[in-house]
């Protein structure tokens, strides 16, 4: 049993310090995931450290009862980071369309960020379609794209064989590409 798994067991048993130790040990991995997630959402004003901290808050609020091990925690963190960025993109698009009702000067950087927010929302729409047709494929995309996990890490996180992940990764890419092509 790995150190992370032992600490997660202790945290589930009520040891508040154990959860903090888990985050401390995995902090560099969480930052790597955050940088990868932000890389898939260029132009975002949130930095990797800010994204990790927002993710931490979300994980604390939702609890760790279902977290099995290191890989599973990192997969959950990647999903939380993706959701944080999607929420920020939705807020940006809403504000662009007058949701905030305040007026300010608009720069080329703002236009680029708006376009990138809309692109991210298109990817999210394609991901939701993928998830509704096959949730396993969506989890694989989250691990590979948003968490930057290798195929073996993805297999471990999702408790699948390496060959299954390799096969489903190809299917997921094709399905995601098709879903994006079908968007208006």
User: Which residue is associated with the tokens 């099995």?
Assistant: 68
Whole-model pTM: value is 0.73
Q: What is the mean pLDDT of residues 109-128?
A: 78
- Residue-level pLDDT at 114: 67
- Cβ(37)–Cβ(45) under 8 Å? no
Q: How many helices (H) and strands (E) does the chain have?
A: 8, 0
Q: Give the model confidence (pLDDT) of 98-111 as tens digits.
A: 555 555 555 555 56
Q: What is the mean pLDDT of residues 133-144?
A: 93
Rounded to 5 degrees, what angle do the CA atoms 127, 128, 133 make? 95
């Amino acid at each position: 049993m790995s150190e992370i798994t032992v600490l997660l067991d202790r945290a589930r048993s009520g040891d508040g310090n154990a959860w903090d130790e888990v985050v401390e040990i995995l902090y560099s991995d969480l930052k790597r995931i955050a940088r990868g997630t932000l890389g898939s959402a260029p132009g975002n004003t949130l930095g990797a450290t800010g994204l990790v901290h927002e993710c931490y808050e979300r994980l604390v609020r939702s609890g760790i009862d279902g977290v099995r091990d290191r890989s599973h925690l990192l997969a959950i963190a990647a999903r939380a980071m993706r959701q944080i960025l999607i929420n920020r993109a939705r807020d940006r698009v809403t504000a662009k369309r007058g949701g905030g009702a305040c007026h300010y000067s608009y720069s080329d950087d703002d236009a680029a960020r708006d376009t990138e927010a809309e692109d991210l929302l298109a990817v999210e729409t394609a991901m939701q379609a993928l998830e509704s047709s096959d949730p396993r494929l969506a989890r694989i995309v989250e691990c590979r794209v948003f968490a930057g996990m290798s195929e073996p890490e993805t297999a471990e996180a999702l408790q699948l064989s390496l060959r299954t992940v390799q096969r489903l990764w190809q299917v997921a890419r094709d399905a995601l590409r098709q879903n994006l092509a079908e968007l208006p």
